[in-house]
Structure 1
Amino acid sequence: MKAGEIAAHLDRLVEGSAAVPRDASGLVVGEPADEIDRVVVVFEVDEGTIAQTEDGSLLAAYRAPPSWPYPGAGGQAGGPARRMLPQFLRRRIALYLVPPEYAGFAGGLADWLAETLGLEEARPFGPASPRRYLKLAVFVPEGHEDRIREAIAGAGAGHIGHYSHCTFQVAGTGTFLPREGASPFAGKVGDLERAEELRLETVVPEDQAGRVVEEIGRRLGTAVRVAGTQVEVSRVAVVPGAGAEYWEHAVAAGADLLVTGDIPHSIARAAAARGMALVDPGLEATEAGFAPCVAAWLRAALGGRVQVETVSPPKLWWVAGG
């Protein structure tokens, strides 16, 4: 299987998220045309995980090696990353870095952490990555625009804030010449047809575009093209990784307790003063679900076309006397 095909599936994990320039993500080592024998999913890349990875594999990781060169930073790989790069190239190992936005996506790390803790009625809180939208435009014969508008809105497009059915239309004259094999809605094969039409435009979230187009097609029976201190806890906020910076958003969301990793002392004091309880199991523990979750998802997505396995790197932290 080609590395590019596998990367395309992995891209769907965070479909529609806005890229953060300092984040290296996607297929960062290897070429899309490279043949891949197996996929190894790992939380963090280090020399130990590379040693456990067979030649010709693709490593799918959540955290890049230390000193990894980020886009726009103008630097080169240093430290461990400098030692690892030749190993990737020599052994034909591709590297795909899953964007950090995966933590907050449906079925992502935050959902895994909430489920592991036995929390119910989970919902997102705090700032989200800016959502990207596409413009959807269709050309409709006059008199049929309301049916098309209903199909578009019913499929999930044209929703802006608390409003639905948000469209813009402009009238004009469309021309087309049906050729041999065509079944024109109006006009005849071989004759240039002029028709009074409406251009109907709306917006659709980029991560929903594929589903919306399929749904519009299903509703219309045709194809559509797209361009372009101790407290009684009743509510718990979870942020995988080092998410202490979100504590005020957790307070605003009505949470009594925040579970996240690597909480600085200053933030712990500030949160306690606001009555917010904190639990810090460590960064590794809150992100431990990455490899099994992504591997299970990828096995289903690839349908057995390539072997998918996980590798667990040695724990960085351990409890003295434990």
Structure 2
Amino acid sequence: MSLRGYELMKQMEAYAPPKYAWSKDRIGLQIGKPDAEVQGVLVTLDVTEAVVDEAIAKGANWIVAHHPVIFHPLTNLRLDQPSGRLMAKLLKHDLQVFVAHTNLDATLGGVNDVLAAKLKLEKTKVLVSEGSAKLKKLVVFVPVDYHEQVLEAVGKAGAGWIGNYSHCTFNLQGIGTFKPQAGTNPFIGQQGKLEKVDEIRLETIITENNQQQVIQAMLQVHPYEEVAYDIYPLDLKGEEWGYGRIGEIKQPLSLQEFAEQVKQAYRISGLRMVGDPATVIKKVAILGGSGSRYFMEAKRMGADVYITGDIDFHTAQDALAVGICLLDPGHHVEHLVVEQVCRELKERLQGRVTIYASQVDTNPFTFV
């Protein structure tokens, strides 16, 4: 079954909604045709010539990247310059580039949840809240014999999440009636005859972000030609979304011990540390990429240490002055989200196309 770019982009946007991105961010399809058939997808942190060569070698004609390949407006496309050569190679080989940047940072299961999970943080919360997902209730009427199939399908698509519990539903059995009219092809019954069927009213919670994929999953397994379902808006607050995460480690460690743990978890050979190595660490804040501007937010929320990249000299001095430790593992640790994006796409696209995790190291820094 062929897959078009529209479907790939739709699934990426369900995972990392565009509205989560900063207003001036450059996200979405940056190069290529939205209706191009997807022959393979390469997921990467950055788009470099080496990454493009990797995509060509693997037969992937779509690249899903975290960092935009076009961020500042182009002033030329000179083929004797690196940026021009990169664009020319992408266009010559008919490669499409789709970007999920700050929306992938902010979304649930995105960059910052991955970084927090690598450190086994507990009781995690959003560090810089930008809002919460709107909740809705889905009600669908299902013949008894198909109830389990529909319940499993909508649960797998993301319906019924309450806290750390999935597949949360309420089910009530009753009698459904309908009379098929001319031109119908009913799964049960005959044209012109009133039918009474044992059905189950299945109720569950969905969000505005996963509504489309839940409905699609439901319709794929529901046996009826015309599915009866309702969606109700709820005056309830859903999961928060935003930038960074804050949580606790299982047992207190010194800053020096925790820094070593961070190096192992993020598979890096070194990092920069600000603070007394003997400082006791219990509460940890983290924000992938360049998040030094938020160190006071981490301090306000009680963090003992704040982990982020691209920390400058004066920010380090200010952090020391207010009494919060800093760890800078580099901007490049965001590459740890690549495997998570691959898992999401494999599950959402259900094996319709091969998903590759880039093996190219795009980190420009080494420790000497």
Q: Is TM more than 0.5 here? A: yes
Deviation at 1:22, TM superposition (A): 2.6
The aligned residue for residue 24 of structure 1 is 26
Q: Does structure 2 conserve the Cα–Cα contact (< 8 Å) formed by 1:69 and 1:75?
A: no
Q: Does structure 2 conserve the Cα–Cα contact (< 8 Å) formed by 1:57 and 1:93?
A: yes
Residue 305 in structure 1 maps to residue 352 in structure 2: yes
Q: Does structure 1 conserve the Cα–Cα contact (< 8 Å) formed by 2:44 and 2:335?
A: no
Deviation sequence 1:262-300 (CA, Å, 0-9, x none): 111111111111110111111112x12121111111111
Deviation at 1:77, TM superposition (A): 6.1
The aligned residue for residue 43 of structure 2 is 41
SS in 2 for 1:87: helix
Residue 62 in structure 1 maps to residue 28 in structure 2: no
The aligned residue for residue 201 of structure 2 is none
**TM alignment of 1:82-97, pairs within 5 A:** 82-97=84-99
Using the alignment, how far apart are the partners of 1:211 and 1:308 within structure 2?
Answer: 20
**TM alignment of 1:85-124, pairs within 5 A:** 85-124=87-126
Using the alignment, how far apart are the partners of 2:214 and 2:356 within structure 1?
Answer: 33
Q: Which amino acid aligns with 1:57?
A: N
SS in 1 for 2:19: coil
The aligned residue for residue 244 of structure 1 is 292
Q: Which amino acid aligns with 2:105?
A: A
Deviation sequence 1:245-275 (CA, Å, 0-9, x none): 1111111111111011111111111111111
Residue of 241, 263, 268 corresponding to 2:311? 263
Count of matched residue positions in the alignment of Structure 1 and Structure 2? 254
Q: Does structure 2 conserve the Cα–Cα contact (< 8 Å) formed by 1:24 and 1:99?
A: yes
Deviation at 1:244, TM superposition (A): 0.9
Q: CA separation of 1:265/1:81 partners in 2, compared to 1, >3 Å: closer, same or farther?
A: same
Deviation at 1:64, TM superposition (A): 2.2
SS in 1 for 2:303: coil
Residue 290 in structure 1 maps to residue 337 in structure 2: yes
SS in 2 for 1:298: helix
Q: Does structure 2 conserve the Cα–Cα contact (< 8 Å) formed by 1:258 and 1:276?
A: yes
SS in 2 for 1:17: helix
Structure 2 segments unaligned to the other structure (5+ residues): 138-158, 161-179, 185-205, 217-226, 234-274
Using the alignment, how far apart are the partners of 1:209 and 1:2 within structure 2?
Answer: 21
The aligned residue for residue 319 of structure 1 is 367
Q: Which amino acid aligns with 2:354?
A: Q
Residue 224 in structure 1 maps to residue 262 in structure 2: no
Deviation at 1:49, TM superposition (A): 0.4
Q: Which amino acid aligns with 1:223?
A: Y
Please, what is the CA RMSD of the aligned residues?
A: 3.7
Task: Give the structure with the larger strand fraction.
Answer: 2
Using the alignment, how far apart are the partners of 2:33 and 2:122 within structure 1?
Answer: 42
Q: Which amino acid aligns with 2:317?
A: R
Residue of 325, 336, 341 corresponding to 1:277? 325
TM-score by length of 1: 0.67
Q: Does structure 2 conserve the Cα–Cα contact (< 8 Å) formed by 1:16 and 1:132?
A: no
**TM alignment of 1:170-249, pairs within 5 A:** 206-207=208-209, 209-210=211-212, 222-224=228-230, 229-230=275-276, 231-249=279-297
Deviation at 1:15, TM superposition (A): 2.4
TM-score by length of 2: 0.60
Q: Which amino acid aligns with 1:276?
A: I
